[in-house]
Chains A and B, each alone.
Chain A
């Protein structure tokens, strides 16, 4: 199987009045990837998504979806979209709305199937305005998968959902990614990015500041921390090991911050009496905060 490029953004910028919403974004998403676009409010996630969908024209740069314009990809039914809010007709019934959306696409899945996959088969006769926020999001999800798209784009899909709906939602979503669909979702929930994405793209002030697997992003910031009990440890020797950034002690317990924890471990096990060893990585939240701080520092310098 060849890997095709689903989405390609090159040097994309967008300015609204005095706000530079997107300040030069390069992003390539390969077919089959599940990508989280992570960042605080105002980071430029929504604008990036709007440009990717052809809803907003970039000031500069190019946007390609499956090698063509976003509009072409949408006309071919290659893209399914779940918007954050709105985008539905409040006085329509769930079944009517989904029949309509199916009728607007060239090769839709049966409406019953979409209802089933979104877990809303029991809501068909209900009017949209009577639904809870979580139920509406499920209808939007059904609308996004009806075209049988290759790429699903979700803008903060779980906003306003309670914990249980959120878990159910991601279970439904997982079934779609298992079918090999490419997924791009914007979120400001770190745990969602961590749990559901193969790749996390971190945005801040309109720029991509980190891009990799959740594990890579965590490692890029603080590496891992080794915690071991080493009676009478030679701290100077430990500190001089390659990749060790910092050494702290608490009694016999030594905390080593390492860029390459595997090598440090080998040394500890081979050459010292270290025992009760634990290796922990910083969680994604620490990483994101650290990256944000680094950025702030750079901006201040510039």
Chain B
């Protein structure tokens, strides 16, 4: 990891309003629309429906923030910046580690914003342990999406990376059941949802609020997705740096 590079990336990302709006405002607005309109006593999958939507939207925010690091990578690959980096002592692996850390850092603000809104306006009551667990799980649940960001960053061109990231974020979120609970949809939708990593990250985060605790099956699937997507990301990265 390189600290100065991280600071550089954070400053640059903070200037990019599109990323901020998409990753913080979108989940917030969706939570306000779909979460706060739910009656306080409604339940969904064994937990309060408002808490359910809150966690889903927080997960959606951390996921889209994590994926946005792909835009940074694509922009840097363009215009020979990678060549410049190869002429410095920075190790290529440190570059990838940096971008994954950037993804995880970008995933923090949407989580905080949505959870605070849930607490204040949605009157979601959780124990300190539950808050901590759900925050941690939602945060680390961004990892498979950081890997997707890496893959997109290494295959997309700078001018196409925004629409590709935006579209895939929305498709994964919608079909993965982060926007609307799949239990309320035809069963075919649930089968489709289970093919996306978002369903399993959502499932893991929400299960942290149930009496039985974190769904280990879902957690294992998330870890599996992280490993597989991470390997694909590394492959793309290797292919890219090997090219002279």
Contact = CB atoms under 8 A, between A and B. Distances in A.
Interface of A: 50, 53-57, 74-77, 79, 81, 83, 85-92, 96-97, 99-106, 143, 147
B24 to A, nearest CB: 20
A85 B88 contact: no
B83 interface: yes
B75 A104 contact: no
Contact of B79 (A55, A88, A104): A88
Interface stretch (B1-9, B50-58, B168-176): B1-9
A89 B84 CA distance: 10
Contacts of B88: 74, 101, 104-105, 147
A204 to B, nearest CB: 24
Contact of B15 (A57, A76, A91, A147): A91
11 contacts: A75-B89, A81-B87, A83-B83, A87-B79, A89-B75, A89-B76, A89-B79, A99-B7, A101-B88, A103-B4, A104-B88
Per DSSP, are chain B's interface residues mostly helix, strand or loop, or mixed? helix
Interface in B1-35: 2-5, 7-8, 11-12, 15
A198 to B, nearest CB: 24
Contact of A103 (B5, B15, B76, B87): B5
B12 A92 contact: yes
Interface residues of B, number: 23
A114 to B, nearest CB: 14
A262 B20 CA distance: 76
A77 B120 CA distance: 53
Given A101-B88, A104-B88, A104-B89, A83 B4 contact: no
A79 to B, nearest CB: 7
Contacts, number: 76
Given A86-B80, A91-B15, 11 more contacts: A55-B87, A55-B244, A83-B84, A87-B81, A88-B84, A91-B12, A92-B8, A96-B11, A102-B4, A103-B3, A104-B88
B90 interface: yes
Contacts of A83: 80, 83-84
A75 B87 CA distance: 8
Q: Which 8 A-B pairs have the closest CB atoms?
A: A103-B4, A86-B80, A87-B84, A104-B88, A100-B8, A87-B80, A81-B87, A75-B89
A246 to B, nearest CB: 49
Contacts of A85: 80
Interface string B60-88: 00000000000000011001110111111
Contacts of B244: 50, 55-57
A91 B75 contact: yes
Contacts of A91: 12, 15, 75
A96 B11 CA distance: 9
Contacts of B8: 92, 96-97, 99-100, 103
A74 B87 contact: yes
Contacts of B3: 103
A125 to B, nearest CB: 12
Nearest to B80: A86
B87 A100 contact: no
Contacts of B12: 89, 91-92, 96
A143 B12 CA distance: 19
Contact of A104 (B4, B7, B76, B80): B4
Nearest to B8: A100
A83 B86 CA distance: 12
A88 B81 contact: yes
B89 A100 contact: no
Contacts of A77: 89
B241 to A, nearest CB: 11
A105 B2 contact: no
A100 B5 contact: yes
A281 B89 CA distance: 46
B81 A89 contact: yes
A88 B8 CA distance: 13
A100 B83 CA distance: 15
Nearest to B76: A89
